[in-house]
Amino acid sequence: MTKSSELYERALNKSPGGVSSPVRAYKPNPLFIESAKGSKIRDADGNEYTDYCLAYGPMIAGHSCDFVLDAVRNQLGKGTLYGAPSETELELIELISERIPSAEMVRLAVSGAEATMHAIRVARGFTGRDGIVKMIGSYHGAHDHVMTNKGEGYKSIPGSPGIPADAVKNTYNAEYNDIESLVEIIEAESPACVIMEPVMGNIGVIPPEKGYLEEVRRVTEESDTVLIFDEVITGFRLSEGGAQKFYGVTPDMTTCAKIMGGGFSGSAFMGKKEIMENVAPAGKIYAAGTYAGNPVSAAAGKAQIEYMTGKYAELNKRSSELIGSLRDSMEDSGTAGCVNGVGSMMSVFFGVDSVKNGTQASGTNRETFNGLFRHMLSNGTYLAPSALEAWFVSTEHSEEDISATAEAFDSFVKREKK
């Protein structure tokens, strides 16, 4: 019996499913992690893996980045939580505003879910309308108004027991990369906002087709619909200014989390001044949190964002080498599937030639991915344990890491083909 399996048995007794978030559970047992440094994580049994899960995205500078740790240590000596404003928090706000094109004003929060919850409320309060549009297959956190599945037409049904039907009756579903599906909803429902991941990252990675984000921007602008880019994953990952800088499309509001917390819990919602100045106490739209803007997360986030300055071209180049190798292996082995990727995020879909939206992604072959996940693990590579999660690369992933991963992948697709 391994230490991880022992710990899992213990965890099952006291926590539902033995994990603190559902995606972390997999069979026969999740690895319990003991430590992490650079591109590597080490499990409770002392096995080391090259990590492409990176805590689902935050660790873009690798684990235990010295630059971030120094900033955190410095802050720890000065206190951990004040419940009052601090210069560290202000510096993070200013840095975000400088980097993210849409961020004229910024409000800090704690998690990605909280940031999207607040942003939606602000869009509703600002427009005086209730409807919200999300993309099929997107994820914006586990709160009621966005934890939905597609129902009839573009309507929603609750995405979990416990969510009242009433809570989702104003949530509408458009298909990503399909501008007509969005136009139909905007014309029929005059929603308050469209909330979308500019690059889908929670149903595997799906980049926007050429011109799609520009079209979304045009139709939302023409209809006075608030466009919210949920950049919880892509913010500070695709470029210094997130996906909006990468693609040159500026939304009205943005949510960020993950990387901007530097490995701690930190998030933000931001946007045009005319919208954000309606947030309390400047305006009437309420948003609050005891841990919002806490100085430890702010110090860590600021350090990680600063550390990444000027490092994106190299990171994206290294990642594109991995994407290229994965594609070559798929093609050479004649495996049915495709590799989607942009910047340092990517995913592998089996069984289909291309994936351009959430509906197509949910129809891909997950069994083969589960086999890949186990194969990669036994070859020292840690992926997120789901076909529909992204793979992430950090600045700490070396040429050797990338080529070992490409080789392990190649051996899997060749073995599957036999």
Ligand X SMILES: Cc1ncc(COP(=O)(O)O)c(C=O)c1O
The contact set with ligand X (CB under 6 A) reads 56, 111-113, 116, 139-141, 197, 201-202, 230, 232-233, 257
Q: How far is the CB of 5 from ligand X (least distance, A)?
A: 26
Q: Which is nearer to ligand X, 139 or 350 (CB)?
A: 139
Provide the token pair at 7: 């710990």
Give residue number: closest CB to ligand X: 112
What is d(CA 179, CA 213) in angstroms, rounded to the nearest whole number?
Answer: 9
Token pair 């350090």 is at which residue?
303
Q: How far is the CB of 139 from ligand X (least distance, A)?
A: 5
Q: Which is nearer to ligand X, 213 or 233 (CB)?
A: 233
User: In Å, what is the CA distance from 144 to each residue of 127, 149, 166, 283?
Assistant: 20, 11, 10, 25
What is d(CA 109, CA 86) in angstroms, rounded to the nearest whole number?
Answer: 14
Stretch (H or E) spanning 34: strand 33-37
Provide the token pair at 117: 């919850």
Give the chain's radius of gyration (CA, Å): 21
Given 230, 245, 356, 382, the catalytic residue: 230
Q: Which amino acid is at 48?
A: E
* Residue 111 near residue 20, CB atoms below 8 Å: no
Q: Which is nearer to ligand X, 141 or 204 (CB)?
A: 141
Listed as own residue / partner, the contacts of 398-405 with beta carbons closer than 8 Å and 24 or more positions apart are 398/39, 399/318, 401/39, 401/50, 402/318, 402/321, 402/322, 402/325, 403/325, 404/50, 404/379, 404/380, 405/50, 405/52, 405/322, 405/376, 405/381
Q: Which is nearer to ligand X, 7 or 113 (CB)?
A: 113
Q: Is 139 a catalytic residue?
A: yes
Strands 337-342 and 253-256, how do they pair? unpaired
Q: Is 230 a catalytic residue?
A: yes
Q: Which is nearer to ligand X, 112 or 131 (CB)?
A: 112
Given 8, 49, 139, 382, the catalytic residue: 139
Q: Which is nearer to ligand X, 18 or 266 (CB)?
A: 266
Q: Which is nearer to ligand X, 113 or 402 (CB)?
A: 113
Q: How far is the CB of 114 from ligand X (least distance, A)?
A: 7
Given 150, 245, 258, 302, the catalytic residue: 258
Q: How far is the CB of 243 from ligand X (least distance, A)?
A: 11
Q: How far is the CB of 96 from ligand X (least distance, A)?
A: 16
Q: How far is the CB of 56 from ligand X (least distance, A)?
A: 6
Q: Is 178 helix (H, G, I), strand (E, B) or coil?
A: coil
Q: How far is the CB of 37 from ligand X (least distance, A)?
A: 23
User: In Å, what is the CA distance from 178 to each residue of 173, 211, 212, 213, 292?
Assistant: 11, 11, 8, 10, 36
Strands 171-174 and 132-135, how do they pair? parallel
Q: What is the set of active-site residues? A: 139, 230, 258
